Structure 1
Amino acid sequence: MERTSPPTGRRAASLLLGLVAIAGCGGGEAAGRMKEAAPAVPVLKDGLVELPPGYAERAGIGIAPARYEDVTPLVHVTGVLEFDALRLAAVGSRIAGRVAEVEVIEGSKVEAGQVLGTIVSAELGTAQADIAAVEARVLAAQRDVARKRSLLAEGITSQRELDLAISAAAIAEAQLRAARQRVTALAGSRGSKALGVAELRSPIAGDVVGVHVSRGQAVVPSHTAFMIADPRTLWVRLAVFEGELLHVQVGDPVELSPTTGSAETFAGVVEFVSVALDPMTRSAEVRVVVDNLAGKLRAGQTVQANIRPASAQRRAVVVPRQAVLQIDGTPTVFVAQTERSFESRQVALGVGDFERVEIQQGLAADEQVVVSGVFALKSELYR
């Protein structure tokens, strides 16, 4: 059998070179294919971002013209609803006594003048009894005056006696007025007919939002027994910072929405703007009155308030807010020079709302700016 001799060193070297050449040819073709498949990317040229064909569509880049139109600043603040202080009443006893009856519970709806509860008081009973005694003295004095007039006409008594009787009657009548006034001060103008019983009545129509007494409880004049509120209007006190307070005025419209995520909004109006700033927070109170006839809002509820200062409304060059980027701490927009080239331009911002912002410097009306895909351009600019 013929044996095959192993390759010599020269033959092995030739074989190795051939394999390398073959591998090199294959690698070059693969590299060429990879180079052809590599996508084109934006480049920065002469201060402009140049986009390759089709890149704007892939990156979702959209442009729109800057508009010259009316813009109103928006002051966004969070606050808490509370009862209107002008529609809130605290009802308590004017005298010391003991609670006899409680006629309402928390949540009851009451009318003005409705009895909320009754209090038994010895002091009131004494004052009411004094009225009866003084009334008797007044009646006796008036009869004495009539009798003296008759006797004077018959010449039996003197004018001095009649004058003394008239004076005594006047003193008795003054004492009666004082006694009645004392009872009114103790029990109110519509006191109970029962001796020593004071009725606590609601001064306004509304809802009972607090009951702080129970039957048999001892009370004193400083104790608040009931709280009544009319929830048809509410207040919200807002802390507006010094820089935004300049434009806010009484009468400005306010849009409020609950912080719970509800899409429903409610209308309000600025009723008061404080004349003093809080030295710690550099803010001032702005009080807003909210219409709550539908009863959908509650005191204590947190709301977001958007104040639109009418006095600051003006015409200006505006762009959508999403068109403005912060680059190195400076507001910047991308301005279209051609369909595929964009200039990065610094601008000065003015007032605005959630959707639009005023461009005070750096952009003219009708210039085309990038309004979508701006982050894609920024990332390519600072690749």
Structure 2
Amino acid sequence: METPKFSNAALRRLSGQQGLLVGLGLGLVVAIGGMTLFSHFGNQRSAAPIQNAPAASGKNSALQVKVQQIGNSTTQESSNFVGALEAQQKVTLQPQIQGRIESILVSSGQRVQKGTAIATLSLDQTQANVASSIAATNAAQAGLKTAQAQLQQAEAQRTKVAANVQLQRTQFNRTQQLVTQGAQARQELDIARNNLQAAIADLQAAEKEVAAAGAAVRQAQANVRAAQASTAAAQVNVNQKRVVSPIAGVISEFPVKVGDFVNTGQTITTIIQNDALDLNLSVPSNRMPQLRIGLPVELLNPNTQKVIGQGAINYISPTVSSDQQSVLSKARFRNAQGQLRDGQYVQARIIWNQQPGILIPTVAISRIGGQSFVFVTENTTVDGKPQQVVHQRLVRLGEIQGTNYQVLDGLKAGETIVTSGILKLREGTPIQPQS
């Protein structure tokens, strides 16, 4: 058979196609080999890396990443809760009598002291009642003085009449003795008897005058007390027209304005004291052995997870909720800087226990097949030059603490891990730590 002849161009096309097929076959083998992953648990280097990186010929081929050396930290056993802060002191101002708002003396957001005037109500009829009551009191006091003067006059007249009775009795006794001795006529004794009886009658009349004057004084005194009570009541109404703050705090919004008519019990504004705030926590009953007064509690911003306050448990209910099987507890937080507000939604973390341990950033974790890995750096030499490479290591993680994971096993203090660009890394990849 005659051997077929091909042109030079055809030979080049056939050679290129064979090369392409060989290249595709080798790429498929490498890809299949790269899918195999073997790693040891603990501080051991992976026995079979996911994919071996080619040897670095210089720093230009190394990936720039951020690294972090692992140090000893404090790990926490904690539980998270959510709720709203509640001011320890919060007062709703309401008028005790109805009236029209005449003036509002403070503004929303203003800090006031105890006794500060907040608003006043119209004083038209109330002020007139006060003036009328004061006038009635003055009249009653004048009547009392008059009655007291009349009593004094009646008592003086009684004293005078009583003296006359004594004189007439003495005169009668003397006349009686002289008549008995025959020195005077019996007619003189009758005259003396009549004079004594008249004097006694005058004394009895004077006693009645004194009694009447005394009764008038007592009535005048009662009138004064009644007028004074009426004045005091009218003055109370005037005081009630002036709404004052019973505590020191910050003024909230005003749902009313000048000119509005308000009834008894209607809210004018609210005064809130944010110096100390409480947070209600429903703690599961299975945590009761660990629950105690003074247990530290941290407040977290629900958006940034940063700690915005620190407090402690200050109340534990003596009963367990039968529905939720939880124990109502309260944590109090001081707010000297004024960063917290009444009604503010927060996350809280009760710290049950603290102990030494290792924390690593959550961004350093990669997950494969439901397991957690980190890239640990190692110093080596490539082409006789020092080079850092990474090894993928299996770790066992605990709870998330802020933006970090607790490491239960797989790492130790002093080792260095990669914290950026982990999706680009493979076993043995050369790296260049960023400054």
Give the alignment partner of residue 356 of structure 1, picking from 388, 404, 413.
Answer: 404
Give the alignment partner of residue 234 of structure 2, picking from 183, 196, 214.
Answer: 183
Contact 1:348 1:362 in 2 (8 A): yes
> Could you tell me which amino acid in structure 1 is paired with residue 401 of structure 2?
D
Matches within 5 A, 1:108-123: 109=110, 112-114=115-117, 116-120=119-123, 122=125
Q: Distance in 2 between matches of 1:55 and 1:312?
A: 49
Give the alignment partner of residue 90 of structure 1, picking from 89, 93, 97.
Answer: 93
| 1:149 Cα deviation from its structure 2 partner | 6.2
State the partner residue of 1:71: 75
- Quick one: structure 1 residues 372 and 201, their matched pair in 2 at CA, closer, same or farther if it must change by over 3 Å? closer
Matches within 5 A, 1:227-238: 227-229=269-271, 233=275
- Quick one: structure 1 residues 63 and 316, their matched pair in 2 at CA, closer, same or farther if it must change by over 3 Å? same
Give the alignment partner of residue 264 of structure 2, picking from 210, 216, 221.
Answer: 221
| 1:210 Cα deviation from its structure 2 partner | 0.1
Q: Distance in 2 between matches of 1:137 and 1:235?
A: 55
1:344 and 2:394 correspond: yes
Contact 2:101 2:121 in 1 (8 A): yes
Deviations 1:174-220 (A, max 9, x none): 535543443354332xx7xxxxxx444455565462051442x5443
Q: Distance in 1 between matches of 2:55 and 2:278?
A: 50
Secondary structure of 2:265 counterpart: coil
Deviations 1:111-154 (A, max 9, x none): 74436233246477547634542453355336645764686578
Q: Distance in 2 between matches of 1:16 and 1:91?
A: 108
Contact 1:95 1:220 in 2 (8 A): yes
> Could you tell me which amino acid in structure 2 is paired with residue 212 of structure 1?
V
Q: Distance in 2 between matches of 1:210 and 1:292?
A: 25
| 1:221 Cα deviation from its structure 2 partner | 1.6
| 1:318 Cα deviation from its structure 2 partner | 2.1
- Quick one: structure 1 residues 185 and 50, their matched pair in 2 at CA, closer, same or farther if it must change by over 3 Å? farther
RMSD (Å) for aligned C-alpha atoms? 5.8
TM-score by length of 2: 0.53
Q: Distance in 1 between matches of 2:68 and 2:300?
A: 33
> Could you tell me which amino acid in structure 1 is paired with residue 73 of structure 2?
E
| 1:101 Cα deviation from its structure 2 partner | 2.4
Secondary structure of 1:102 counterpart: strand
Secondary structure of 1:15 counterpart: coil
Secondary structure of 1:117 counterpart: strand
- Quick one: structure 1 residues 378 and 299, their matched pair in 2 at CA, closer, same or farther if it must change by over 3 Å? same
Secondary structure of 2:120 counterpart: strand
State the partner residue of 1:320: 360
- Quick one: structure 1 residues 307 and 151, their matched pair in 2 at CA, closer, same or farther if it must change by over 3 Å? same
Q: Distance in 2 between matches of 1:241 and 1:378?
A: 44
Contact 2:299 2:347 in 1 (8 A): yes
1:133 and 2:176 correspond: no
State the partner residue of 1:194: none
Contact 2:373 2:394 in 1 (8 A): yes
Secondary structure of 2:234 counterpart: helix
- Quick one: structure 1 residues 68 and 248, their matched pair in 2 at CA, closer, same or farther if it must change by over 3 Å? farther
> Could you tell me which amino acid in structure 1 is paired with residue 264 of structure 2?
P
1:102 and 2:110 correspond: no
TM-score by length of 1: 0.59
Contact 1:236 1:290 in 2 (8 A): no
Q: Distance in 2 between matches of 1:230 and 1:271?
A: 22
| 1:274 Cα deviation from its structure 2 partner | 7.0
Q: Distance in 1 between matches of 2:220 and 2:53?
A: 112
State the partner residue of 1:50: 48
State the partner residue of 1:210: 254
Q: Please say which structure displays the higher CA radius of gyration.
A: 2
Q: Distance in 2 between matches of 1:125 and 1:163?
A: 34
Contact 2:119 2:244 in 1 (8 A): yes
Q: Distance in 1 between matches of 2:391 and 2:224?
A: 100
Q: Distance in 2 between matches of 1:283 and 1:20?
A: 87
Normalized per residue, which structure has more helix? Answer: 2
Secondary structure of 2:398 counterpart: strand
Secondary structure of 1:129 counterpart: helix
**Aligned residues between the structures:** 346
Contact 2:314 2:332 in 1 (8 A): yes
- Quick one: structure 1 residues 328 and 210, their matched pair in 2 at CA, closer, same or farther if it must change by over 3 Å? farther
> Could you tell me which amino acid in structure 2 is paired with residue 349 of structure 1?
G
Q: Distance in 2 between matches of 1:55 and 1:280?
A: 61
